[in-house]
Structure 1
Amino acid sequence: MASTTQKFLPILVIFSLLHIISAARNTLHEQQPIVDDPSNTMLLQYHRGPLLSGKISVNLIWYGKFTPSQKAIVSDFITSLSSTKNHKTSNNPSVATWWNSIGKYYHLANKKTSSLSLTLGKQINDESYSLGKSLTNKHLTELASKGAQSNAVNVVLTSSDVAVAGFCSSRCGTHGSASSKMGRKHSKFAYIWVGNSEAQCPGHCAWPFHQPIYGPQSSPLIAPNNDVGLDGMIINLASLMAATVTNPFGNGFYQGPKEAPLEVASACPGVYGKGAYPGYAGNLLMDKTSGASYNANGVNGRKYLLPALYDPSTSTCSTLV
């Protein structure tokens, strides 16, 4: 099993905005963020491996208790990644626009166009906590295996009362791959895990919708879906989705050691809008009715806050606003 663990912790006492930890070695590796530094030309190297392509189903494995409204926040986000006729967002900036910017990495990998097409797949519920309320990395892979293991990304989402190894102390989510066997054929499938931090560490994993544990103590922003835990999960899920398609099996686009890589979203921690700096998410849009901060429109009138992505054509962190 290959696994990449990322810590989305935007504020620290020092100016290092990101910690990346190797799940296998369990050692902390600090990385400096790259923001508008022209010396970082093609910072993320291509290691000649495959990127996800073709028609990919995103299957959601809900572990623990989630309300229907919470599930809708996530499923609408996955649907928003695609700009099909049936699920087109008229308002800009959109989630689909944010996602389409990843196409630049397909060009760099000598693919004429991004043939990737995402759809919302099956949703699997495990409200009985079949593996308990304290999960290991092995448990996460076991849960991810419940989804389809061909042409799929399986996303494990754990509820706020579930403890996961390394959660809060060193990570908010992870992505990786696992082996599968279909008949005589062996293959790999990609998976993601994201936890709901609301009851455990919102200052770590749901900033800027909660005051950070370290650094400048600015007032938290209002979450666009009125759910600090779920809106924080969307930020981390978005980051991990971008990393998964561009580095699904550990030999795609990244910088640094394979076990603890810097990837397309983790290269720009804590950046959500122009003018961002430590403790400030950037200049964002504000909903006139709720006062919530966001930078992307989704299907069904949804609003989301999505992280900046590293733009290989400009060597900068690119934001929607």
Structure 2
Amino acid sequence: MAMNRLALFYLLLALAPLAVTAWRPWPPRNASGGELAGIGASKKYEGSSDFVKLQYHMGPVLAADITVHPIWYGKWPVSHKRTIRAFLRSLSAAGVPSPSVSAWWRTVRLYTDQTSSNVSATVRLGEEKSDARMSRGARLSRLDIQSVVRDAVTATTRPLPVDSGGVYLVLTSPEVAVENFCGQVCGFHYFTFPSVVGYTLPYAWVGNSAARCPEICAYPFAIPSYIVAGGRRPESPPNGDSGIDGMVSVIAHELAELASNPLANAWYAGEDPSFPTEIADLCEGIYGTGGGGAYTGQLLTDGRSGASYNVNGVGGRRFLVQWVWDPVVSYCSGPNALDH
């Protein structure tokens, strides 16, 4: 079935090169059975068999040097922080063996604004803020995420800087429940409201799903029971933790979309900017050549641990991150593609 769909995918691309297709192994649904909607919503396993056209809507991309400021909300083991920091440091690191995280980011860099400025090649790990006491509580609404950002940039001691290239990454630990988490989303990105934060700042939220829904948000390191029943086994996480390795891929997804559509008026498909299909949504669930549906595509395997990965990072780290849409060749692409 996956191969038949893949053949149809390439046939339709050949017939209509401006159209793109994205489909998911299982769609997110709300309590009434309808599709998820709402401003700033993430689209885990987004897309459908319907054709959508990726278009530029004249807004900015993140063309200035990007500084990612993590906000650690909840209790975070040091080892988990190290893994995520290593991924963020890898986004523009040189000298990393191929296929690298920075080569994956080069696809994101292909997106430009109306001045022909590309998404920045430079992505730095910035200053960090921790809120281990969960000052906003263990249950957060979407708007609460903006309040977490406000707390970090207005703190009386060591506030996060407010800078032109700043991106604020709210990361919640397993005990934190966020509105629609697991049932509908694994992460989302948007920009803060001046009425809430005092500034318009691009931000993203990603949650650790290990204790809640790893089969949804840490896929393919955990998979739904009906796929297990069909003989499919989860992939082994390259950093030894399905929750954190799953988070890394969602972080990659959100940063790619944040860079190419920071104010919800740049690169996306669909007519509704409050519920766009963005450059990572188009490739949801695809990690290698031949990917689609419930098949990840061709992956690399660590000879010592047996873990699956598709990109190398700093310090010998390895990660498995989903591909993103390449606007030049008009299909999902990654540095581990077999035709590279």
Secondary structure, in 3 states, of the residue corresponding to 1:105?
A: coil
Partner of 2:5: none
- Of 42, 45, 48, the residue aligned with 1:32 is 48
Once the two structures are superposed, what CA deviation does each residue of 1:99-152 show, in whole Å capped at 9, x if it has no partner? 01222112x744255445221111111111111111111210111232433321
TM-superposed CA distance for 1:64, in Å, is 0.7
Check conservation: 1:149, 1:180, Cα contact below 8 A: no
After TM superposition, the score normalised by the length of structure 2 is 0.80
Give the unaligned 5+ runs of structure 1. 1-8
- Of 155, 158, 162, the residue aligned with 1:149 is 162
Partner of 1:176: 190
- AA aligned to 2:102 is A
| Residues 286-305 of structure 1 mapped to structure 2, 5 A cutoff | 286-305=301-320
| Residues 85-234 of structure 1 mapped to structure 2, 5 A cutoff | 88-106=94-112, 109-111=114-116, 113-145=118-150, 146=152, 147-151=160-164, 152-180=166-194, 187-212=199-224, 215=227, 218-234=232-248
- AA aligned to 1:137 is R
TM-superposed CA distance for 1:25, in Å, is 10
Partner of 1:275: 290
TM-superposed CA distance for 1:213, in Å, is 5.1
Residues 26, 278 of structure 1: CA spacing in aligned structure 2 closer, same or farther, 3 A cutoff?
Answer: closer
Once the two structures are superposed, what CA deviation does each residue of 1:248-304 show, in whole Å capped at 9, x if it has no partner? 001010011111111111111110000113222111000000000000000011100
Partner of 1:62: 72
- AA aligned to 1:104 is L
Check conservation: 1:53, 1:115, Cα contact below 8 A: yes
Check conservation: 2:42, 2:189, Cα contact below 8 A: no
Higher strand share: 1
- Of 91, 115, 132, the residue aligned with 1:81 is 91
Secondary structure, in 3 states, of the residue corresponding to 1:122?
A: coil
CA–CA distance in structure 2, aligned partners of residues 92 and 27 of structure 1: 30
Secondary structure, in 3 states, of the residue corresponding to 1:21?
A: coil
CA–CA distance in structure 2, aligned partners of residues 93 and 177 of structure 1: 32
TM-superposed CA distance for 1:30, in Å, is 6.5
The farther-off stretch of 219-228 and 205-214 is 205-214
TM-superposed CA distance for 1:211, in Å, is 1.7
TM-superposed CA distance for 1:305, in Å, is 0.6
CA–CA distance in structure 2, aligned partners of residues 63 and 157 of structure 1: 6
TM-superposed CA distance for 1:214, in Å, is 5.4
Secondary structure, in 3 states, of the residue corresponding to 2:128?
A: strand
Structure 1 runs of 4+ with >2 Å offset: 19-31, 112-117, 147-151, 212-217
Check conservation: 1:11, 1:214, Cα contact below 8 A: no
Q: What is the percentage of aligned positions where both structures have the same residue?
A: 36
Once the two structures are superposed, what CA deviation does each residue of 1:219-249 show, in whole Å capped at 9, x if it has no partner? 0000000010000000100000000010000
